[in-house]
Amino acid sequence: MSEVSVKFSSGNPESDSSSFPPDSSLWRVICFKKSVEPLRKTLREAKCSLREFTYSPTAYKELLVRSDELSQDFSKHELSLKRHCAAAFSDSVVAFVHLKAMRVFVESVLRYGVPAKFAAFIVKPTSAKSLTKLRGILGEVFASSDLFGKSFIATQGEDEGEAYYPYVNIPFSPLTPAVMS
């Protein structure tokens, strides 16, 4: 091939190789006008396809303009999508918190028999050690209550494997991924 092409002109330009079939690649060969036909013949014999490229300054400028327009359009749509996602995320978190509040109410009234007038709190322990300490303190505070307490824990949930406390305990972690079972 060196007789029909300019020396050191052939090369594999850096391109996205994932867009080509596995057994093919793109090569660039610069040749003289008088050697185009011998190059075609040589490539045909090697079962390679040849595509000619003619440089056009106007086509290149149009390509640059179109690329710039698409880049600006992409930025505009990306900003719009980010705004929509922020609004949707906010609405989703509000709905999630609302569902947790409804669950606290239902479990308090139906499971424990607490009158409908009560207060709910969100407590965030800093570590697993402080979580066990917090559970112990809350268990002591609510165990002496006449409405619910340690007697309720002993009679409920032993066969179901679910942890029961003398208070309503609903885990709250809105930003952790859900585990599919």
Distance between CA 156 and CA 175 in Å, rounded?
31
pTM flag (> 0.85): no
Residues near 118 by beta carbon (within 8 Å), at least 6 away in sequence: 108
Q: For each of the chain's 181 residues, which pLDDT tens digit applies?
A: 556 556 656 666 565 556 666 677 777 777 888 888 888 888 889 888 888 888 899 999 999 999 999 999 999 999 999 999 988 988 888 898 899 889 888 888 887 777 788 788 888 888 888 988 988 888 888 777 665 545 555 455 455 666 777 778 888 776 665 544 3
Distance between CA 163 and CA 153 in Å, rounded?
9
Q: For residue 169, what are the CA distances in angstroms to 33, 101, 135?
A: 82, 12, 10
Any idea where the domains of the chain sit in the sequence?
A: 24-56
DSSP letters for 62-97: HHHHHHHHHHHHHHHHHHHHHHHHHHHHHHHHHHHH
Q: What is the pLDDT of residue 79?
A: 96
